[in-house]
């Protein structure tokens, strides 16, 4: 388990790519019967926050960003097209971002099951704060009031990328970010549903450290992960 704190998105992205590529290279060397002469790489589960940034997944449309290029510049918001599932989303301070960089072949080879497990860990975490949440069929992420199409609002977005079953990217869990940034995009390409946060739902300022600890426990319980990955 690692905590990168507040880190620029570009820096975190390159670090993720590096960690993933080493794991992929190690797996390939084992399959090819080539002696791995370096230190055996670990798997990683990373928590962090980012300065304001919009990221565009594989299915993203530029028209889902409602600010002009000049407005993005004026508001100091970066824009990154990246290799993950999903459309456009926002990352910023007050949002807990999780990046598991793990070899799914050590657990199960089912990307949909992996997504559901990530969602379930967040759902269980929210219960600790008295919030009921769930899923919406056909849409990834964790939602408040998922059974009510007119009131459903997303509290955690999920988008991942896999290479030879080694994951990167992950989830973005809104604790107390500035939700105004979401009004300048069509979040995840979904026009008829809102975005919320733990603070907005409870009216309470919850320390990020407390959320991290609870979510760490839920991830460990859900996956059976050893934190010495």
Tell me what pLDDT residue 227 has.
Answer: 66
The percent helix, strand, coil of the chain (3-state, each to 5) is 35, 30, 35
Helices (H), 54-140: 69-74, 111-127
The number of domains in the chain is 1
Residue 228 domain flag: no
Using DSSP bridges, classify how beta strands 53-56 and 78-81 pair: parallel, antiparallel or unpaired: parallel
Task: Provide the token pair at 123.
Answer: 């759902």
Query: What pLDDT is recorded for position 1?
Result: 86
Which CATH number is 81's domain given?
Answer: 3.30.930.10
Task: Classify residue 229: in a domain, yes or no.
Answer: no
The pLDDT value recorded for residue 18 is: 97
Residues with a known catalytic role: 188
Whether 44 contacts 3, CB under 8 Å: no
- Provide the residue range defining the domain that includes 6: 2-223
What pLDDT sits at residue 110?
A: 96
Residue 13 lies in a domain: yes
Per-residue pLDDT for the chain (229 aa), expressed as one digit of tens each? 899 999 999 999 999 999 999 999 999 999 999 999 889 999 999 999 999 999 998 888 889 999 999 999 999 999 998 988 888 999 999 999 999 999 999 999 999 999 999 999 999 999 999 999 999 999 999 999 999 989 999 999 999 999 999 999 999 999 999 999 999 998 777 777 899 999 999 999 999 999 999 999 999 999 988 766 5
**Strands 78-81, 139-144: pairing kind:** unpaired
**Residue 72 to residue 53: CA distance in whole angstroms:** 9
Compute how many other C-beta atoms are within 10 angstroms of the C-beta atom of residue 67.
17
């Amino acid at each position: 388990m690692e905590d990168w704190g507040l880190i620029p998105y570009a820096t975190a992205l390159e670090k993720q790519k590096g960690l993933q590529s080493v794991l992929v290279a190690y797996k390939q060397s084992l399959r090819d019967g080539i002696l791995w002469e370096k230190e055996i790489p670990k798997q990683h589960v990373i928590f962090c926050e980012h300065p304001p940034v919009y990221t565009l997944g594989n299915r993203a449309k530029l028209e889902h960003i409602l600010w002009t290029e000049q407005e993005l510049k004026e508001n100091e918001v970066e824009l990154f097209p990246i290799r993950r599932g999903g459309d456009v989303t926002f990352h910023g301070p007050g949002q807990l971002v999780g990046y598991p960089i793990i070899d799914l072949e050590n657990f199960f080879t089912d990307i949909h099951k992996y997504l559901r497990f990530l969602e379930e860990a967040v759902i269980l975490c929210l219960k600790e704060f008295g919030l009921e949440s769930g899923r919406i069929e056909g849409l990834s992420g964790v939602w408040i009031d998922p059974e009510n199409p007119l009131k459903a609002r997303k509290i955690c977005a999920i988008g991942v990328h896999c290479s030879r079953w080694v994951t990167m990217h992950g989830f973005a869990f809104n604790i107390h970010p500035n939700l105004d940034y979401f009004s300048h995009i069509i979040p995840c390409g979904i026009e008829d549903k809102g975005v919320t946060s733990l603070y907005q739902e409870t009216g309470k300022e919850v320390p990020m450290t407390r959320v991290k600890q609870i979510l760490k426990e839920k991830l460990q319980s859900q996956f059976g992960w050893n934190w010495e990955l």
